Chain A
Amino acid sequence: MGLFDIFDVAGSAMSAQTVRLNTVASNMANAEVVSGTKEGAYLARQPVFSAVMKAIGGNQASVPVRISGIVESDAAIDRQYNPEHPEADKDGYVFTSNVNMIEEMANMISASRSYQSNVEVANTSKQLLLDTLRLGQ
């Protein structure tokens, strides 16, 4: 029913943005992680959003969001010469993560703004529903 469905939609978007914030936090936390092998290096993660389409005849007006998967970045992994590092390989190299800090910061701001706008949507809808309940009083 109309306004009640907005809570589902805004809620789904809020949880999707939370996942996005979580991946940003993981990426930033692991930005300085190094590994002795190229395969072991930390790869930046990103969620993929997709719209949930309802079956024909259902309520097409409300379109919630879902996370259809988490993808790992295929950006190049840096190799650093650091023979003192305990993880260094036999040639003295360590492999760093491919996290781009600037990208992550921009992602974080975008995610929190989207989260805020969805909170606003849910709040407004709640207020409208409460006003409707008081109709005629």
Chain B
Amino acid sequence: MSNTIDRFFGVHAQALQLRAQRGELLGSNLANADTPNYKAQDLDFKAALSDATAQKTTAMAATRQGHIQPQGRMGGAHVLYRTPNQSSLDGNTVDTQVEQNRFSENAVRYRTSLRFLSGKIQGLMTAIRGE
């Protein structure tokens, strides 16, 4: 049954989680806009989402004791460093304007997933009540 509901919600449950994670990355970039030697990061969303929906594990093989996993989180392997448009003297690669735009784009897309989920939940509720 829970599987049916999972399938009913489709890609949006995972998308929401990944959007939140991307928001965190972009928020960190903006917070570190003035930090010397900070390298801006972003999520390869498409790859992360296709991995998450395929239930593929992104963990690296630990063949020896002491091998470190990059991250236990969803999409951890798809966090990449941004290529700066313009390099700065202090080694910081954050372009505030770019990050701000991506952050708001990410927020809008988060809201879109929320809206889809909301619609589906309301559909389910209607079906349950039978009104």
B→A interface (CB under 8 Å): 16-17, 20-21, 23-25, 27-28, 30-38, 41, 68-73, 76, 79, 96, 100, 103-104, 107, 110-111, 114, 117-118, 121-122, 125
Contacts and interface: CB of A to CB of B under 8 A. Distances in A.
Nearest to B99: A117
Contacts of A131: 111, 114
Contacts of B31: 9-10, 12-13, 63-65, 118, 121
A77 B23 CA distance: 46
Contact of B34 (A5, A61, A110, A127): A110
Interface of B is mostly: helix
Nearest to A124: B107
Contacts, number: 111
A44 B52 CA distance: 51
Contact of A2 (B23, B30, B118): B23
A110 B100 CA distance: 15
B24 A3 contact: yes
A3 B34 contact: no
Contacts of B17: 2
Interface residues of A, number: 41
Contacts of A65: 31-32, 35
Nearest to A50: B35
29 contacts: A2-B21, A2-B23, A2-B24, A9-B24, A9-B27, A10-B30, A12-B31, A13-B30, A13-B32, A13-B33, A49-B32, A49-B35, A51-B32, A51-B38, A60-B79, A61-B21, A61-B24, A63-B28, A63-B31, A64-B31, A113-B96, A114-B96, A117-B100, A118-B30, A120-B100, A127-B107, A128-B20, A135-B121, A136-B121
